[in-house]
Amino acid sequence: MPIGTQNKPLQTVMWEAGKVRLIDQTALPEKLQYVEYTDWRDVAEAIRTMVVRGAPAIGCAAALGLALGARGIIADGRESFLRRVTGIADTFRAARPTAVNLFWAIDRVLAAAAETEGNPVDLKDAMLVEALLMLDEDIETNRRLGQYGAALLPDPVNVLTHCNAGALATVGYGTALGVVRAAVEAGKKVHVYADETRPRLQGMKLTAWELARDQIPVTVIADSMAASLMRQGKIDCVIVGADRIAANGDTANKIGTYGLAVLAQHHNIPFYVAAPLSTIDTKLASGLQIPIEQRDTVEMTHIEGIRIAPEGVDVINPAFDVTPGELITGFITEKGVLQPPFGSEASVPALPSEGQEETEAKETVTA
Amino acid sequence: MPIGTQNKPLQTVMWEAGKVRLIDQTALPEKLQYVEYTDWRDVAEAIRTMVVRGAPAIGCAAALGLALGARGIIADGRESFLRRVTGIADTFRAARPTAVNLFWAIDRVLAAAAETEGNPVDLKDAMLVEALLMLDEDIETNRRLGQYGAALLPDPVNVLTHCNAGALATVGYGTALGVVRAAVEAGKKVHVYADETRPRLQGMKLTAWELARDQIPVTVIADSMAASLMRQGKIDCVIVGADRIAANGDTANKIGTYGLAVLAQHHNIPFYVAAPLSTIDTKLASGLQIPIEQRDTVEMTHIEGIRIAPEGVDVINPAFDVTPGELITGFITEKGVLQPPFGSEASVPALPSEGQEETEAKETVTA
């Protein structure tokens, strides 16, 4: 069944009439509602509180938020403007520590300002244009990586995914779920197992919701059920997103990803990371250097505002873990299925011509 | 700090003045409350709805429930009485399919009746005496296996456990947590990581609660966090309970156990199963033959009565998985730390004399 026969494709991050408009992901799956921001500080807070989440979506929301903040600056001149823009950028950078796309996006919008000649009005325009370009690029990137990934999948296929690396984690279409969508569009029969992803249940609340909305078959499981399904031969491959990828391929992603990678290796199941190149942090030699966000333990002790844990018991809540690059079968990017080490731009292969795409994707993985 | 300085040891299953008295585990950790049953059918329902849970506790509750049911039978004679007792036993057998202790306990109480001479009154007494003996034996068994297990642990030690194999899963003291308690009593410094254990959160709600009650340090984690802690060297060993152990050592236990065993192997961490011999089902050659209970998916889709899953999305809820025997470092039982295959009684080693206990436990595991 074609995608979107009943529903418009989701767009998670938008610019509308001078406002940043986001899908409120804390309201899903009960209701699909949008929130609009006219104050950049509220956009930063929306990132912190996970109204918007997912590395690429965070990046684009921050880019738009920074452009929004810039528009509000009343500055005497160019230097004063740039100084104040940098202050806003720092607030966005502090919103969440792990996903590198946030820093990448902020840097790109700042560079657009710095590289533009003229007065603050010109710089504001350049920043917004750059942010909007990034939104368009994000969807295009996901469609491209989706095609590379889809070529890797058998038909029929049972895909296990963790957390949400879907339309809701990006501007649209998704990374891991972009691969799923592209496979469905290519006519493959795809069934997804979605780990519920404690503590915040993004797999149950977001991944299952957005796949069901697109009529893609999905079954929600507790995180602890994945191993048993693998042993029963019910999982053909694992595809996850990423929050930051080090030069050696070590990958930070939602807590629980590392365990899945170990389990996949034990069961000889391919384990793919689907992410745009902007998620690769070539400055980091290994995953040891990736900062891991520790979130409020109330996410563990309470669900829907109700306490589920005994009072006074110690709880931890690391939001991410790091999967060693050697456990990852391939990195599905907009430039093909890559292998570490990831160095400078030069080491990234050139875009293949149309006819070569599928072949290259397959070769890279069987290599 | 000695156990029970502030609190009496928990007793999960009791016989009191003609009634079966259970801790209501569905009310924990909010409140410690007891429920009393005068109708055996309600005891069977309490097993089904997990007011009482944990393989040994289920067995003992069923034994008492059957004895309670027997007392209510008004029968002409011995044969009529035994026929009606068998009917009650069948209802208990149907309450939950995976834990073998249930069947073992029912058989033992039935045998006590069958082997007793005399009229129905004599048989009723024999059944109750047998059930009460099983309650005493359970605590004694757990204390013994606890000592064997405690000898295996380094000092200090970080133990990871899954679900609840504690006092609340037994009549008292616990199996996996019996090992923890015995290690603490032996003066070892023990810290427990408790997997929360979705969907029913027995790790968070029961294990953390009963350890905190005994002032044993415990940290609750999401099931998906275990792998990352192992990689960081924060877990010294894994100890879990069991619902049924096949002759070759394949072990059914709470869903998620199998994944932990794979992860433990990957990280070279010892993985122990702590269980009484009554959990070993020597009639089953392998774990393939263990029936896996599929529970109501509402346990997945709702928490505290609130829907957390999108409407209409497919969900599965297998309550157990099977861990292959070869992933299990040792089986901590009341007769020592054993290795499969488990055959007839003859293959179970004789009880060592006091002086040999610790040595034997160590030897068995390093073998």
How many beta carbons lie within 10 A of that of residue B191, not counting itself? 17
- Summarize the confidence of residues A341-347 as an average pLDDT: 69
Question: For the CA atoms of chain A, what is the radius of gyration?
Answer: 20
Cα A79 from chain centre: 34
Q: Do B222 and A198 touch (CB under 8 A)?
A: yes
Chain A CB within 8 Å of residue B327 CB: no
pLDDT score, position B6: 63
pLDDT at A349 over 50: no
pLDDT in tens, A172-191: 999 999 999 999 999 999 99
pLDDT score, position B127: 98
DSSP calls for B279-334:
GEETT-SSGGGS---B--THHHHEETTEE-SPTT-EE--B-EEEE-GGG-SEEEET
| Both structure tokens of A150 | 């889809």
pLDDT at A5 over 60: no
Q: Name the 3-class secondary structure at A267.
A: coil
Instruction: Select from B121, B109, B5 the least CA-distant residue to B64.
Output: B109
pLDDT score, position B1: 38
**More confident: B354 or A108:** A108
pLDDT score, position B76: 84
Residue A341: asked if its preceding bond is cis (omega within 30°), the reply is: yes
pLDDT at B352 over 80: no
Instruction: Select from B202, B233, B203 the least CA-distant residue to B221.
Output: B203
Ranges A347-351, B13-17, B236-240: which has the least confidence: A347-351
Q: Identify the band that residue A344 occupies on the pLDDT scale cut at 50, 70 and 90.
A: low
Cα B70 from chain centre: 25
Chain A CB within 8 Å of residue B256 CB: yes
pLDDT score, position A7: 79
pLDDT at B353 over 60: no
- Provide the chain A residues 94-133 that lie in CB contact (below 8 A) with chain B: none
- Provide the chain B residues 54-93 that lie in CB contact (below 8 A) with chain A: none
Residue B264 · residue B273 · CB < 8 Å: no
pLDDT in tens, A166-175: 999 999 999 9
Q: Do B222 and A263 touch (CB under 8 A)?
A: no
Q: How far off is chain A from B158, nearest CA to CA, in Å?
A: 14
DSSP calls for A304-358:
TTEE-SPTT-EE--B-EEEE-GGG-SEEEETTEEE-S---SGGGSPPPPPGGGHH
Phi/psi of residue B273, nearest 5 degrees: -105, 125
pLDDT score, position A361: 37
> Which residues does residue B66 pair with via DSSP β-bridges, in sequence order?
none
Q: Using CB atoms within 10 A of its CB, is residue A11 exposed (0-12), middle (13-18) or buried (19+)?
A: middle
Contacts of B115-124 with CB under 8 Å at 24 or more apart are B118/B78, B119/B77, B119/B78, B120/B73, B120/B75, B120/B77, B120/B78, B120/B81, B123/B70, B123/B78, B123/B81, B123/B82, B123/B85, B124/B67, B124/B70, B124/B71, B124/B73
pLDDT in tens, B90-140: 999 999 999 999 999 999 999 999 999 999 999 999 999 999 999 999 999
| Both structure tokens of B98 | 């995976």
CA distance B284 to B282: 5
Q: Do A212 and B315 touch (CB under 8 A)?
A: no
Chain B residues with CB under 8 Å of A252 CB are: none
pLDDT at B357 over 60: no
pLDDT at B259 over 90: yes
| Both structure tokens of A266 | 């034990």
Q: Do A259 and B227 touch (CB under 8 A)?
A: yes
CA distance A116 to A183: 41
Residue A147 neighbours by CB under 8 Å, 6+ apart: A182, A186, A357
pLDDT in tens, A34-49: 999 999 999 999 999 9
Residue A7 neighbours by CB under 8 Å, 6+ apart: A213, A214
Q: Indicate the residue of A304, A312, A315 with minimum beta-carbon distance to B219.
A: A315
Q: How far off is chain B from A100, nearest CA to CA, in Å?
A: 20
Amino acid at A234: K
pLDDT in tens, A225-268: 999 999 999 999 999 999 999 999 999 999 999 999 999 999 99
Q: Do A255 and B225 touch (CB under 8 A)?
A: yes
| Both structure tokens of A173 | 């279409």
Ranges A12-21, A358-367, B54-63, B142-151: which has the least confidence: A358-367
Q: Identify the band that residue B223 occupies on the pLDDT scale cut at 50, 70 and 90.
A: very high
Query: Which run of H or E residues covers position B128?
Result: helix B120-150
Interface test with A, best of B192, B218, B225 (most A CBs within 10 A): B225
Q: Do A224 and B195 touch (CB under 8 A)?
A: yes
pLDDT at B344 over 60: yes
Q: Name the 3-class secondary structure at B26.
A: coil
Mean residue pLDDT across chain B: 93
How many beta carbons lie within 10 A of that of residue A353, not counting itself? 8
| Both structure tokens of A333 | 């990017």
Domains in chain A, ordered, with CATH?
13-140 (1.20.120.420), 144-366 (3.40.50.10470)
Phi/psi of residue B339, nearest 5 degrees: -125, 145
Instruction: Select from B77, B311, B260 the least CA-distant residue to A224.
Output: B260
- Summarize the confidence of residues B289-296 as an average pLDDT: 96
pLDDT score, position A6: 63
- Summarize the confidence of residues A319-335 as an average pLDDT: 98
